[in-house]
């Protein structure tokens, strides 16, 4: 029975997964370990490579997730599939220092400790050769995280840590959000009792092979995760995202309206209608890019989606004006009726577009067959 399960999220890490297994084997000679890779159906064929690796090495497993994406949720699923008393998370690209794993195992013998975190910001730890802008952004995101957390973690954004399995279960049961990149932060923020931790330094290395998945979406997902921590128990995360996009739509609306009225001298009704359509279209595009990034519409689906979005939001707009007018006539003041109207409209738009615009594919079988050939399993003879 393994003593330690190491979870490795992968997306397009073909050139790294075997090297990581080799280095872990070299780093942990005295420990009975298993390696659980969680791959989101990488187009570069990482999963096929992992299956081949698992065929020759019993300590390796590949969990394949199809039709889903996300670093944090992949880690959580890998952690839940682990059956060792100790579990760890490490990146596939060899940026984390696997030679620290034995020390983590050693430290976790202490019954008073739940988690050991590999930290870039304690003692001799370092971020390696990062550009000044990336270092600054990382520092900024770190201090934001520290303000949401009750724990005094120096590196809450670390993706490299080891933890007792029971502690992981307690966090997940209490409700991890699973959104975005920050798995450690997610675990700390959801733990029912403060996690007892220790940070040990390591130096963040250069990526071994392949490219980073950190893109502009990461900042957005990070913002969503922080908001989710603050109010996610009451309001669904997608609704928060949808509302943020809606608020930005108001800015677009006013800008277009001002331009058409003052720049082009159009009449109010025409300008207001045009601004509404532009704002709806930009809201549709942004929601498709951000709120529903995991089920993004493409090609003809985009056109059909736009029609249903505009139709749903037009009815939502009518409901908004209807409720607000009704309240206004009864109450007199304008602030409460206006807010009530906007809220009813937003909930309506959210509910309807979730049903009709970005509906979950009704049957996976309708999805086109994989074009990538699946590698034949090695012959058993
Ligand atoms: N399954 C899955 N699904 N894995 C993913 C996904 C995904 O959608 N996105 C990224 N990964 C995997 C990558 O394959 C890699 O093994 C690991 O998650 C980290 O992704 P990178 O693209 O290498 O991220 P990074 O180097 O910019 O950021 C890392 O370092 C930071 C500093 O420690 C991450 O570990 C961050 O969580 C960490 O904060
Ligand atoms: Mn990396």
The domain that holds 141 is classified in CATH as: 3.90.550.10
pTM (global) more than 0.75: no
Ion ligand 2 — residues with CB < 5 Å: 91, 93, 95
The answer as to whether 267 is a domain residue is: yes
244: CA distance to ligand 2 center in Å? 29
CA–CA dist 74, 63 (Å, integer): 9
Q: What is the pLDDT of residues 343-352, one digit of tens each?
A: 888 999 999 9
DSSP annotation of 360 reads P
> Do residue 129 and residue 89 come from a single domain?
yes
> Do residue 204 and residue 241 come from a single domain?
no
> Do residue 79 and residue 153 come from a single domain?
yes
The answer as to whether 283 is a domain residue is: yes
Among the atoms of ligand 1, which is closest to the Cα of residue 157?
39
> Do residue 205 and residue 247 come from a single domain?
no
| Residue 2 exposure: Cα atoms within 13 Å on the Cβ side | 22
Are the C-beta atoms of 310 and 280 separated by less than 8 Å?
A: yes
DSSP annotation of 203 reads B
- The per-residue pLDDT string of the chain (381 residues; one tens digit each, 9 = 90 and over) reads 889 999 999 999 999 999 999 999 999 998 999 999 999 999 999 999 999 999 999 999 999 999 888 888 999 999 999 999 999 999 999 999 999 999 999 999 999 999 999 988 776 666 666 677 777 777 777 777 777 776 788 888 889 999 999 999 999 998 877 776 788 988 988 888 889 999 999 988 888 888 887 766 777 777 777 777 777 667 888 888 899 999 999 999 999 999 999 999 888 888 888 999 999 999 999 999 988 887 889 888 999 999 999 999 999 888 888 888 888 888 778 888 888 888 888 999 999 999 889 986 554 434 443 333 333 333 333
* Ligand 1 atom 17 nearest Cα: 91
131: CA distance to ligand 2 center in Å? 15
The answer as to whether 232 is a domain residue is: no
> Do residue 194 and residue 250 come from a single domain?
no
CA–CA dist 198, 8 (Å, integer): 21
User: Could you give the residue ranges of the DSSP H alpha helices within 57-203?
Assistant: 71-81, 101-107, 132-148, 165-175, 183-190
Q: How far is CA 294 from CA 68, 236, 307, 311, 372, in A?
A: 7, 16, 20, 23, 21
- Domain ranges, residue 54: 4-212
* Ligand 1 atom 33 nearest Cα: 158
> Do residue 83 and residue 201 come from a single domain?
yes
3 state DSSP class of 151: coil
Q: Which ligand is nearest to the CA of 13?
A: 1
- Which value, to the nearest 10 degrees, does the dihedral of the CA atoms of residues 51, 57, 59, 61 take? 0
> Do residue 50 and residue 141 come from a single domain?
yes
126: CA distance to ligand 2 center in Å? 15
The answer as to whether 337 is a domain residue is: yes
* Residue 99 in tokens: 């030679």
Q: What is the pLDDT of residues 181-195, one digit of tens each?
A: 788 988 988 888 889
3-state secondary structure 327-345: HHHHHCCCHHHHHHHHHHH
CA–CA dist 220, 174 (Å, integer): 24
The answer as to whether 172 is a domain residue is: yes
Among the atoms of ligand 1, which is closest to the Cα of residue 39?
1
* Residue 193 in tokens: 């009792």
Q: What is the pLDDT of residues 20-53, one digit of tens each?
A: 999 999 999 989 999 999 999 999 999 999 999 9
239-269 exposure pattern, b = at least 16 Cβ within 10 A, e = fewer: bbbbbbbbeebeebbeebbeebbeeeebeee
The answer as to whether 377 is a domain residue is: no
> Do residue 32 and residue 155 come from a single domain?
yes
Number of domains composing the chain: 2
The answer as to whether 36 is a domain residue is: yes
> Do residue 246 and residue 149 come from a single domain?
no
> Do residue 208 and residue 344 come from a single domain?
no
> Do residue 333 and residue 278 come from a single domain?
yes
33-66 exposure pattern, b = at least 16 Cβ within 10 A, e = fewer: bbbbbbbbebeeebbbbbbbbbeeeebbbbbebe
The answer as to whether 372 is a domain residue is: no
> Do residue 10 and residue 101 come from a single domain?
yes
What lines the ligand 1 site, CB under 6 Å?
Answer: 9-11, 13, 38-40, 69-71, 74, 91-93, 95, 157-159, 181, 212-214
């Amino acid at each position: 029975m393994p003593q330690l399960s190491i979870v490795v999220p992968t997306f397009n890490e073909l050139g790294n997964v075997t090297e990581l297994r080799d280095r872990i084997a070299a780093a942990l000679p005295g420990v009975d370990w298993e390696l659980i890779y969680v791959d989101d159906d990488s187009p570069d064929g990482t999963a096929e490579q992992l299956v081949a690796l698992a065929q020759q090495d019993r300590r390796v497993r590949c969990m394949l997730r199809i039709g889903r994406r996300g670093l944090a949720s992949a880690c959580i699923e890998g952690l839940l599939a682990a059956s060792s008393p100790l579990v760890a998370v490490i990146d596939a690209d060899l940026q984390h220092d696997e030679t620290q794993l034995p020390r983590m195992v050693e430290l976790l013998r202490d019954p008073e400790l739940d988690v050991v975190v590999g930290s870039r910001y304690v003692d001799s730890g370092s971020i390696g050769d990062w550009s000044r802008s990336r270092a600054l952004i990382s520092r900024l995101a770190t201090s934001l995280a520290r303000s949401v957390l009750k724990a005094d973690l120096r590196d809450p954004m670390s993706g490299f840590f080891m933890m007792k399995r029971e502690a992981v279960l307690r966090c997940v049961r209490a409700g991890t959000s699973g959104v975005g990149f920050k798995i450690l932060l997610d675990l700390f923020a959801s733990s029912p009792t403060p996690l007892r931790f220790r940070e040990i330094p390591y130096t963040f290395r250069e990526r071994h092979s392949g490219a980073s998945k950190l893109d502009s979406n990461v900042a957005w997902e990070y913002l969503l995760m922080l908001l989710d921590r603050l109010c996610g128990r009451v309001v669904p995360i997608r609704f928060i995202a949808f509302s943020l996009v809606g608020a930005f739509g108001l800015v677009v609306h006013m800008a277009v309206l001002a331009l058409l009225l003052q720049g082009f001298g159009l009449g109010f009704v025409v300008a207001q209608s045009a601004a509404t359509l532009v704002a709806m279209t930009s809201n549709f595009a942004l929601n498709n890019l951000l709120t529903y990034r995991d089920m993004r519409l493409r090609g003809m689906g985009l056109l059909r989606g736009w029609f249903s979005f505009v139709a749903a939001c037009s009815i939502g707009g009518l409901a908004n004006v209807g409720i607000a007018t009704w309240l206004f006539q009864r109450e007199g003041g304008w602030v409460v009726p206006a807010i009530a109207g906007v809220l009813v409209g937003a909930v309506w738009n959210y509910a309807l577009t979730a049903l009709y615009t970005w509906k979950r594919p009704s049957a996976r079988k309708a999805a086109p067959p994989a074009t990538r050939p699946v590698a034949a399993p090695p012959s058993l003879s």
